[in-house]
């Protein structure tokens, strides 16, 4: 196939569907990471197994999304239920891969084929990191260093092959992302004398800046904080009301809505539609 034929294939709906399938298969691996990284276990070995009875999952039962539906969400040997998070993560990974292919490969015929595919690889790896970190943050309220710290230089370097945002923009993005949270954390600690927030969010924002560049950060922080507040305020009000209703005066539990998933969501929104939104709403480019 010549460059032109390849370009036509890359732009075809079939190629976008194949990207979705590729994403779903990686989604299975994302689940393994979400399950095992917080426990400090290897994500390579052993293969997938039932959390309850330890039976290895057969290859035929390891199809993304479909196996969960066929087996009605249960282990084939002991019938213990699997978390619905597994097919959800696989579905999210499939949709992200298809969307990234559609946006950066199928609909960008001006770039060379190699660059378009490199962009897909970079942005899908980036989304994978965001998905894994979000679900770990939801489950444990932590963003593990073992993912965030290597992600910053690896994604920064990988972006050179993909003609993403310029490297100075990305270097400033990584530094500014970390410093933004560092300054807030220090303010809480030294001025308000409170353990305000962890630096996991800062390392996550550094990884986001290392890929998308510093121009993305105001959008990511603003949209992340806004959607985070939109979700967490009703939860806070409901918990407070329920606690007021109880007879024993328990101390108000500290609200635990992690910020990581909202930063990740905002970063994905910026990646897929951010520049267009900014142009349309604010006249910025």
Residue 53 engages Zn ion in binding (rule: CB under 5 A): yes
Q: Which one of residues 6, 48, 52, 243 is an interface residue with Zn ion (CB under 5 A)?
A: 52
For Zn ion, the closer of residues 82 and 101 by Cβ is 82
Which residues lie closer than 8 Å to 273 by C-beta, 6 or more apart? Answer: none
- Taking residues 92 to 131 in sequence order and writing x for each that binds Zn ion by CB under 5 A, - otherwise, the string is ----------------------------------------
Residue 50 engages Zn ion in binding (rule: CB under 5 A): yes
DSSP 190: I
- Going by C-alpha positions, the residue among 18, 213, 11, 6 that lies closest to residue 108 is 11
Distance CA 274, CA 103 (A): 12
Residue 56 engages Zn ion in binding (rule: CB under 5 A): no
Which span sits near Zn ion by CB under 5 A: 51-59, 120-128, 222-230, 273-281?
51-59
Q: Is 63 left (phi over 0), alpha (psi -120 to 50) or beta?
A: beta
Whether 234 and 111 have beta carbons less than 8 Å apart is answered as no
- Taking residues 76 to 95 in sequence order and writing x for each that binds Zn ion by CB under 5 A, - otherwise, the string is -xx-x---------------
For Zn ion, the closer of residues 17 and 78 by Cβ is 78
Q: How far is CA 147 from the centre of its chain?
A: 12
Which residues lie closer than 8 Å to 200 by C-beta, 6 or more apart? Answer: 137, 142, 143, 144, 145, 148, 260
For Zn ion, the closer of residues 41 and 51 by Cβ is 51
14 by Cβ neighbours in 10 Å (0-12 / 13-18 / 19+) ranks as exposed
Residue 51 engages Zn ion in binding (rule: CB under 5 A): no
For Zn ion, the closer of residues 3 and 51 by Cβ is 51
Q: Quote the least distance from Cβ 227 to Zn ion, whole Å.
A: 37
Give me the DSSP letters along 131-180. HHHHHHHHHHS---HHHHHHHHHHHHHHGGGGT-S-HHHHHHHHHHHHHH
- Taking residues 197 to 236 in sequence order and writing x for each that binds Zn ion by CB under 5 A, - otherwise, the string is ----------------------------------------
Q: Quote the least distance from Cβ 51 to Zn ion, whole Å.
A: 8
Distance CA 32, CA 158 (A): 23
Coil, helix or strand at residue 94? helix
Residue 71 engages Zn ion in binding (rule: CB under 5 A): no
Q: Quote the least distance from Cβ 43 to Zn ion, whole Å.
A: 20
Q: Quote the least distance from Cβ 80 to Zn ion, whole Å.
A: 5
Size of the site for Zn ion (CB under 5 A): 7
Q: Quote the least distance from Cβ 81 to Zn ion, whole Å.
A: 10
Largest CA distance in the chain: 75
Strand partners, 49: 56
Kindly list the residues in this chain that would bind Zn ion in the complex (CB under 5 A): 50, 52-53, 75, 77-78, 80
């Amino acid at each position: 196939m010549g460059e032109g034929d390849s370009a036509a294939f890359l732009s075809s709906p079939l190629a976008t569907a194949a990207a979705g399938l590729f994403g779903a298969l990686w989604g299975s691996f994302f689940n393994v990471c979400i399950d095992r990284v917080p426990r400090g276990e290897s994500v390579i070995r052993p293969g997938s197994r039932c959390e309850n009875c330890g039976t290895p999952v057969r290859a035929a039962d390891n199809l993304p999304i479909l196996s969960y539906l066929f087996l009605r969400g249960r282990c084939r040997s002991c019938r213990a239920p699997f978390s619905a998070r597994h097919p959800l993560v696989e579905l999210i990974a499939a949709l992200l891969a298809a969307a990234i292919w559609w946006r950066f490969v199928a609909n960008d015929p001006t770039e060379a084929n190699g660059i378009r595919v490199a962009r897909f690889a970079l942005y899908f790896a980036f989304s994978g990191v965001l998905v894994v970190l979000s679900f770990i943050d939801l489950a444990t309220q932590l963003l593990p260093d073992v993912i965030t710290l290597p992600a910053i230089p690896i994604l920064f370097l990988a972006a050179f092959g993909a003609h993403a945002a310029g490297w100075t923009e990305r270097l400033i993005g990584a530094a500014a992302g970390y410093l933004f949270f560092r300054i807030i954390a220090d303010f809480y600690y030294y001025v308000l004398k409170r353990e305000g927030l962890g630096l996991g969010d800062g390392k996550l924002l550094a990884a986001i800046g290392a890929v998308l560049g510093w121009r993305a950060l105001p959008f990511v922080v603003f949209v992340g904080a806004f959607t985070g507040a939109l979700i967490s305020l009703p939860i806070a009000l409901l918990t407070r009301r329920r606690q007021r209703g109880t007879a024993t005066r328990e101390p108000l539990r500290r609200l635990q809505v992690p910020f990581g998933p909202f930063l990740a969501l905002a970063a994905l929104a910026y990646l897929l539609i951010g520049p267009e939104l900014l142009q349309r709403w604010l006249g910025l480019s």
